[in-house]
Amino acid sequence: MAQQTNENSTLIEALFDIFRNHGYEGTTISLLSEITGLQKSSLYHHFPKGKEDMLRAVVKFVSAQIQQHIIAPLLDTQVKPEKRFSNMIKTVKAFYSDGGKNCLLNVLNLGEAKADIKKRQSDDYNAWLNALIQLGEEVGLSQPEAINWAERFIIIVEGALIIQRLTSNKQTFEKHMEQEQKQFQQFLKS
C-alpha cells in the first residue's frame, strides 16, 4: 500500500485543508468532492470506510508532518538551541499560513471525536510539549520552568490563531510568535 505517496499526499493535503477550516461536521463529502475534483465514489475508493477514514488519514498525515518537521528538528542536538527554536517558529508559521489556517487540535475536539483520533492528537501535543521541555532545560531552565514555558508556548500558538481569526488582524499570530522568539533569547542570556 501507499506506493505513490506523492500524488496521494496532495489528495490528503486537500482534505486536510477542508477539515481544518470547516471542522468535522462542517465538512461534507460533496465539498471534499468539489475541492479534490474527484467524485464521491472515487473518494470512497481511496477511503472505503468513508468520511471518518478520510479524517483518520488526514490526522495521521499531519501527525507525521509534525513529527518530521517540528519534533525531530527540535530534538536535533547537533544544531544550536537558538537555531532550533527559530527554525521551529518558521515551520509553525508556515504550517498555519501565518495564522490564516486553523489548528486541527482545536478544530476536531468539539463534540465527540473517536477515541483513536483523540489519542493521536493528544500524543502529538505531548510530543511537541516534551520536545520543547527538553529544549528549555537545555538552555538552562529548571524542569518546572521548562514545563510551564513549553505549555504556555503552545497555548499562545493556539490562542493567537483564534484571536487572529476573530479579529481578521493578519499580524496577530506573527507578532506573538516574534515575542516568543525574544523570550527564548532571554533564556540564553542567563
Binding residues for DNA, rule: CB under 7 A, are: 4, 27-31, 37-42, 44-46, 48-52
* In contact, 78 and 138? CB cutoff 8 Å: no
Report the partner that residue 51 touches, choosing among its own copies, DNA, none (CB closer than 5 to 8 A by kind): DNA
177 lies in the site for its own copies, by CB under 8 A: no
Taking the alpha carbons at both ends of the chain, their separation in whole angstroms is 51
Contact residues for 67 (Cβ-Cβ < 8 A; gap 6+)? 124, 127
Distance CA 18, CA 13 (A): 9
| Residue whose cell numbers read 490564516 | 100
Q: Which of 5, 111, 115, 186 binds its own copies (CB under 8 A)?
A: 111
- Tell the smallest beta-carbon distance from residue 156 to its own copies (Å): 6
Residues found near its own copies in the complex (CB under 8 A): 21-26, 102-103, 105-107, 109-111, 121-122, 125-126, 148, 151-152, 154-160, 162-163, 165-168, 172, 176, 179
